[in-house]
Amino acid sequence: MIRLILYLVGVGLLATGLAWLADRPGQMVLVWQGYEIETTVFRAVVIFAVVIGIAVFLWSLLRQVWNSPAAVGRIVNRRRQERGLEALSSGMIAIGAGDRSQAMRHAIQARKALPNEPLTHLLRAQAAQLSGDRTTARRVFEAMLGSKETEQLGLRGLFLEAEREGEHEAARQFAERALRLNPQLGWPVDALFELQCRASDWAGALDTLTAGKRNGHFEKPIADRRRAVILTAQAQALEDSNAEKALALAMEAHNLAPDLVEAGAIAGRIFSSRGQTGKVARVIEQTWKRAPHPDLAVAYAHARPGDSPKDRLERVKNLARATPHSVEAPIAVAHAAIEAHDWTEGRKALAPLIDGRLSQRVCTLMARIEGEQFGNAGRVREWLARASNAPRDPAWTADGVVAERWAAISPVTGTLDAFQWKVPIEQKGTQDEELALAKLEELMALGEAKSEKVIEAKPLADDDAPQTVEVTEARPVTKPTSVPRSNGAATETFVPSRAPDDPGVEDDEPATRAKPAAKTGTAA
């Protein structure tokens, strides 16, 4: 709009000037080389403008002819660029669609039209990867390293190729070079950190984590959690050989992530070995409130060396009050009660779980109570049978692998902080059957240990030779059995079926102990 107004203003001024000259024609005389030219001022101005216009036109025409070869070249280049860009676009679409033949064809066209374009190299490399030609792809990426514009792209491609082929050392070198080239890149930080964790290079992983946090690649909560896990892994490795350093690492990890179970357990065990009961309680309680775990309960129970099982039971009960709705709390109390032989407290702790949250651990603990308190093999078998069908308990699980102890990385993928305390996916196999069989044999011994009794020999009344009565296995009977003596009398022998104080058995007829024969003969 402004240009239109200026154009109209200019035309108006020019017309006004010409009209003013036309009204005042005047006279102009030009004498040159014997010639005399006489004209008006208006006519002279018009002739001068026409001459200037013709001169400009001739100059433009001459310049056009002079620059015509370059113009033709520019036209050719522009068309070639258009064809190259079209080939690049079509090639990228073909790669995204997985069309190998079209991707290769467009890559060849792009190479002819735009041989020095970075996208052309990328298209060639990706087309080669799509066709399975790893050698060509690697060669193209290596060629990119010669240019500053494509060096980062080449390093990225070489890193991915090395990862696909399992060359972790080469991949690590490419990631380190990319990080030195541009610290602001995010992928080399993540890749290098993952490789270092997979190789258990905890010192290098901490350095990479610090650099990534400084450059803004990791958020503070994520960086603190990862640092805590790495420090816990170091403390776990040094707990037996260098307790001082392991304690420092575990406490730093505990301060960064109070819910990290292994860090709290390590710190608690080391404090307990030093007799620092107060510090044990403080660390374990902080972690227990966030993530109850059996290892924490064990470390808390043995916080003061030399305590009796009764004292440990009271301490575990205090800990369990902090998380009344957690399953781990009553199970920890039941464990401590069994160690203290407080069967009533153990049954009381497990009672709420039997009705609504029955699990394999609960059934196993009940089997232990029945076996150790009464030696009741039948009840032990009953609880073990229920355990075989009960839901599984939480365990340290990472990528489908169940481990007995926490680890910093997954044994399958090498991912950091992959282990979680959760119920594993049901997978029945040889390993589960062997574990169940071992548990069955272990707990069956509890019921059989107290059922095998030997009554000492006592002298008979009339005979000099002693007679013995040996009961090798308890068998349930309901009526006395008469055994004939040598003198025609009968001896009543009773074999107990269950203890009279077993709450799970109704005693219709009380059982009495076996009596030795009075005169001669042996009752078995």
**DSSP string of 404-438, one letter each residue:** SS--SB-TTT--BT--EEEPPPP--SHHHHHHHHH
Side-chain half-sphere CA neighbours of 100 within 13 A: 6
What's the CA gap between 170 and 181, in Å, rounded? 17
103 contacts 91 by C-beta, under 8 angstroms: yes
Nearby residues of 348 by Cβ (< 8 Å), 6 or more positions away: none
What's the CA gap between 479 and 14, in Å, rounded? 140
pLDDT attached to residue 25: 73
CA-nearest of 106, 474, 350, 132 to 122 is 106
DSSP label at 168? H
Which phi and psi angles does 32 have, rounded to 5°?
Answer: -155, 120
What's the CA gap between 288 and 337, in Å, rounded? 19
pLDDT attached to residue 442: 53
CA torsion sign for 404, 406, 412, 418 is positive
pLDDT attached to residue 162: 92
Give the H/E segment covering residue 275.
none
Give the H/E segment covering residue 293.
none
Amino acid identity of residue 169, one-letter, is E
113 contacts 80 by C-beta, under 8 angstroms: yes
Give the H/E segment covering residue 325.
none
What's the CA gap between 99 and 93, in Å, rounded? 9
| Cα separation values, 524 from 90, 119, 449, 472, 511, Å | 96, 96, 20, 9, 17
DSSP label at 502? -
What's the CA gap between 274 and 257, in Å, rounded? 23
What's the CA gap between 352 and 38, in Å, rounded? 128
288 contacts 300 by C-beta, under 8 angstroms: yes
Token pair 């307790």 is found at 243
pLDDT attached to residue 224: 95
Indicate the pTM of the whole model: 0.68
Nearby residues of 262 by Cβ (< 8 Å), 6 or more positions away: 232, 236, 295, 406
pLDDT attached to residue 39: 81
CA-nearest of 295, 289, 281, 306 to 331 is 295
For the beta carbon of residue 80, count every other beta carbon within 10 angstroms: 13
Q: What tokens appear for 357 in the block?
A: 């949250």
Q: Torsion over CA of 13, 17, 22 and 23, rounded to 10 degrees?
A: 100
CB-based burial label for 288 (10 Å; 0-12, 13-18, 19+): buried
DSSP label at 120? H
pLDDT attached to residue 438: 52
Q: What tokens appear for 29 in the block?
A: 């005389």
282 contacts 276 by C-beta, under 8 angstroms: no
pLDDT tens-digit profile, the chain (524 residues): 888 888 888 888 888 887 887 777 777 787 887 787 788 877 888 888 888 989 999 998 888 888 878 777 888 888 888 888 888 889 889 888 888 888 888 888 888 888 888 888 888 888 888 888 888 889 999 998 988 888 998 999 999 999 988 898 999 999 999 999 988 888 999 999 999 999 999 999 999 999 999 988 899 999 999 999 999 999 999 999 999 999 999 999 999 999 999 999 999 999 999 999 999 999 999 999 999 999 999 999 999 988 899 999 999 999 999 998 999 999 999 999 999 999 999 999 999 998 878 999 999 999 999 999 888 899 999 999 999 889 999 999 999 899 999 999 999 988 999 999 999 886 544 444 454 555 555 555 544 544 443 333 333 334 443 333 333 333 333 333 333 333 333 333 333 333 334 433 333 333 333 333 333 333 32
Which phi and psi angles does 36 have, rounded to 5°?
Answer: -125, 120
